[in-house]
Chains A and B, each alone.
Chain A
Amino acid sequence: MKLPSVEYEAPTAVAEAVGLLDEHQDEASVLAGGQSLIPLLALRLARPAVLIDINGVAELSGLTVTDGWLAIGAMTREYVAEESATVASTVPLLAAALPLIGHEAIRSRGTIGGSLAHADPAAELPAVAMALDAEFVVSSRAGDRVIPASEWFEGYLSTSRRPDELLIEVRFPAARRGTGVAFLEVARRHGDFAIVGLAVSLTLADGAISDARLAFAGLSDVPVRAPEAEEFLVGARPSENLFEEAARLATAGIDPPADLHGSPEYRKKVAATLIRRGLRAAVADADERW
């Protein structure tokens, strides 16, 4: 289980990295934290001609809050975001999801941008990005463009990033007053990818739900929202009956995949369970937070 032979470039600036991507296009893989890419290389399932290692691009790391958005540099390590008070206070859903990513040593190297660019549909951060309508900033020779989360995830391990583009930043909207969050998942073991995961963000105003966001991991080849359930929740007051109906709506039309860890029926049942538990937890979180 050794990596195949590969050329290696280590740019130190975004412009340089983008130039290399322009040169090599889809012959290249971008190496960020490497926690997903290196296993694929070791298994020889990925065989890029060139690795463009962006670990030396200092300008890609950092957390900044502006105009109600938290902007995270793509190379920001997961542990840095996990330990950040800024992340905890501005985007609590992200803070709730981060500790569930793999294990401590994985988060030492793993990056926010890397996980989102890898786009594993069972991973935590893609579900968070979907739930919050995050924005993805990519850069190429032609300039920068911003891609909404709803257009970012295209399929299994596939995004709308073009081969000549580099993901440089991800922006998450700051939580509004009255918002409670939860990230729940059912996994075979602590630290494993979720069989089903759920990102929940509920905003409560005067005891009623003013905004509801539900995004699943592990139910499709991309992270998916539950629009009917979200719509149903908005305007209502939290109750067990409400959550029950939301769970029904959220799972009515879904057709989850089967794998070693669970059948479609199992995933569907767990998804409904997570909706009920997630809504309960998010309401409790809002109560505690505000």
Chain B
Amino acid sequence: MAGIVAERYTGASIKRSEDPRILTGAGRYVDDIKLPGMLHAAFVRSPLAHARVLSVDLSAARALPGVVAAFTGAEVEAMTVPGPDALMALMGASGPSPEFTLLATDKVRFVGDPVAIVVAESRYLAEDGCDVVEVEYDDLPPVASAAFALEPGSPPVFANLGDNIARPHSRTEFGDVSATFAGAERVFDFHIDVHRHQNVPMEGRGCVASYDADLGVMTVYAATQSVHVSRIAVAMRLGMEHDKVRVLAGDIGGSFGLKIGASREELAAAAAARAVGRPVKWVEDRGENLTASGQAREESFDVRAAVSNDGDLLGLDVKVVIDTGAYPGMGTMVPSIMQEMMPGPYQLVALGFESTAAITNKASYVAYRGPWASETFVRERVIDLMAKDLGIDPVEFRRRNFAARTDPPAMMITGRPLVGVTSSESLDRVTQLVDVPAFRRRQAEARQRGRYLGVGVATFIEAAPGPRSPDGPSGPMGMESMRLRLEEDGIVALFTGQMPHGQSHQTTLAQIAADEFGVPFDQVRVVVGDTDVVPFGLTGGSRSATMTGGVALHGARQLKVKVLDFASHLMEASARDLQITDGNIWVRGDPASAVPVSEVARQAASGQFADVDANLEVQATFDGGEGGWSVGTHCAIVEVDIETGLVEIERYVAVEDCGALINPAIVEGQIRGGVAQGIGAVLLERSAYDQDGNFQSATFMDYLLPTACDVPRIEVEHLQTVPLDADVNFRGVGEGGMIVAPPTLVNAIEDALAPFGVRIYEQHLPPARIVELIAAATAGR
């Protein structure tokens, strides 16, 4: 395969260096790992939503040929160090801590809650073992909804909490809420629901854990968004020193927020590996993934909005109840982010925000791409609903209420500066691309023929990483570290704590470093996935474009200074006169002086330069610089078949501003992939429970992911309006598509159904629901 050469790599759609292995089946995912003597784990899982565990009998499983060991929840607790959920602890969650065990001990709390682990010579045999485990349960009343969970009489899912409140009710006010609402010409009230849906990466969770008893070292091959976060969890729970735990990761088959750190099952598998003295692999199957890996969203909102008759948005007062599922985690943390993001790019006089998080007998609420996304859905939905009632065009309503782009920047009422936010520009551009007036004519004509077309827009801002806070010394998302080294063979190696799982960091970081250092793209190697060699880091939160792109840029710059310093001795020239281009170091103005970087690297490694710093390595950090927002407006045109409720997306256009693009094709892939998940959320995907907490979407026949026939071509246009930082103007783009596609689509569907007077207060619109909405709206006529 020919090398990739470009004048400047950053900003070009350089072909991915990940692809040659991925396209040939040579990628190495966790399930591809095979260690000598490796065993396979499977879990016995609860068939009940809420029950006491009276007994667990493993004797038949242990007696089965091929089964090596089996452990109950209590036995796993005895093999490990009790503690709270590792991620909760890491994120410093406050409030009362529910009882937490790796496997269920005294009671099961959702359908799929793991009760016992069986370890056998193959996964087939491990599942055979699970089949013969006998568990005696005593049914408890299921807590199948947040509303029931918050009723005083609901049975506490965690006895030590005494109730089902995971995050105590809180209220915060910005501006004078009561005066704003009292003085408003119009006040609207809405109740809006967002349904439970989930990440569903094509590769589920999984690990291979291997314990070397002689060295006392645990090695875990993981599917994770951070090898270091996984290591912390393993060390904490197994009671080991951090330096005795090594976590490695290869290719990872997607995550979307699911694989932050090590899950309960992975920790149980690691404990089992230590106990049996042989490596243990656990890779969840699709049933486990859908039932037990975690789910997201499911929030209900009561929204009041204060507006003027002319459509000036003055105030919002929002109450949210989150259904955290059984083991509270991310669900308790999301309300704070929602509150901060609630104003979006709009100028508000006042904001009230109340939240409560309720524990229920469902799979736990986890982070899913844009965890706070429901606030954007609610805001962008409410704007369309109000615009209709006020007789104002929803596009005009938005334009009118965007905070003006001023210097100094307007402040969100919740505190952050809206610096470089180009919502207005993206809205203008997207409506221009779609030609809304022409569409309205076509829509009117189609309605005459009994066809129902609709157009919808929605806008978002995403802290990716967010602006530098005026009063804070550090950057918007902590610090990012990177070790950079010129290896003996002339390769510039970047050691990063990022753990790519589809984001293409091995390409994008190499593009930046190649440009900055002055070597060809192929001469940069991005090293990930080994706690022994990479610094702390986490891939998530759309932070890596700025944070890691930035540290790659500054780190390459620092490494270059060091290399030129060394070269200056070798080449007997002042470092100031040296430059690096195309992999050669040369004295400015003297092409004949060129020495390959690889030759300089070889010399440095030769050990002949005692008086010179020949250790061509730097440790760089970056605080995010000026940071900034990623911003965009999307527009969808849909057609609804009113007899079947099927929705066809005729056109979808995204105009986004994520600053300077590192690799346009990769950016567009992120946007399109996010939009596809948003389309899935609205039209197809629901993690369905019945009223007794039985899970009804445990296969891919029931949990429906969008296919190539469900996702249209997604047109993407980029704005790159406002450089904020001297060097680093790349902003993250991982979450925006998923955040803004649901309101875009629902707004378009409601527009299509306007002749029937349909108003939509929910996110999930399968065909049967659309037909129901039309029937309900027309029944009263």
Contact = CB atoms under 8 A, between A and B. Distances in A.
Contact of A44 (B131, B646, B704, B710): B131
B285 A188 contact: no
Nearest to B646: A186
A266 B699 contact: no
A142 interface: no
A150 B645 CA distance: 32
A195 B770 CA distance: 15
A260 interface: yes
A44 B129 CA distance: 13
A192 B707 CA distance: 11
Interface string A237-276: 0000000000000000000000011110110011001000
B766 interface: yes
A191 B286 CA distance: 20
Interface in B172-218: none
Contacts of A4: 127-128, 131
Contacts of B697: 260
A273 B646 CA distance: 13
Nearest to B124: A2
Interface in A187-242: 188-193, 195
B702 interface: yes
Contacts of B767: 186, 188, 195, 262, 266
Interface in B641-697: 643-646, 684, 686, 688, 696-697
Nearest to B708: A190
Contacts of A260: 686, 688, 696-697, 702
A46 interface: no
Given A43-B287, A266-B772, A269-B643, A188 B684 contact: yes
Given A5-B128, A266-B772, A190 B709 contact: yes
A274 to B, nearest CB: 9
A1 interface: yes
Contacts of B772: 263, 265-266
Chain B interface mostly helix, strand, loop or mixed? Answer: loop
A3 interface: yes
B643 A43 contact: no
Contact of A190 (B124, B643, B707): B707
Interface string B705-745: 01101100000000000000000000000000000000000
Interface residues of A, number: 24
B768 A263 contact: yes
A192 B131 CA distance: 30
B709 A261 contact: no
B287 A270 contact: no
B87 interface: no
Contacts of B123: 2
B771 interface: yes
A23 to B, nearest CB: 25
Given A189-B704, A189-B709, A191-B707, A2 B771 contact: no
Interface in B357-394: none
Given A186-B646, A266-B768, A270-B644, A1 B285 contact: yes
Contact of A261 (B285, B286, B643, B768): B768
A270 B641 CA distance: 11
Contact of A188 (B127, B131, B766): B766
A262 B696 CA distance: 14
Interface string A50-71: 0000000000000000000000
Residue of B696, B710, B767 ringed by the most chain A CB atoms within 10 A: B767
A186 B766 contact: no
Interface in A89-119: none
A263 B775 CA distance: 13
A2 B643 CA distance: 41
A265 B643 CA distance: 12
Contacts of A266: 645, 767-768, 771-772
Given A2-B123, A5-B128, A43 B699 contact: yes
Contacts of A262: 767-768
A263 B285 CA distance: 30
B684 A1 contact: no
B44 to A, nearest CB: 13
Contacts of B699: 43
Contacts of A188: 684, 704, 766-767
Nearest to A269: B771
Interface string A1-43: 1111100000000000000000000000000000000000001
A3 B709 contact: no
A190 B767 CA distance: 14
B643 A273 contact: yes
Contacts of B771: 266, 269-270
A192 B702 CA distance: 10
A43 B767 CA distance: 28
15 contacts: A1-B286, A5-B124, A44-B127, A186-B644, A188-B704, A192-B704, A195-B768, A260-B697, A260-B702, A262-B767, A263-B768, A263-B772, A266-B771, A270-B771, A273-B644
Interface of A: 1-5, 43-44, 186, 188-193, 195, 260-263, 265-266, 269-270, 273
Given A4-B128, A266-B772, 7 more contacts: A3-B124, A43-B287, A188-B766, A193-B701, A260-B686, A263-B768, A273-B643
Closest 7 CB pairs of A and B: A1-B285, A190-B709, A266-B768, A273-B643, A262-B768, A2-B124, A186-B644
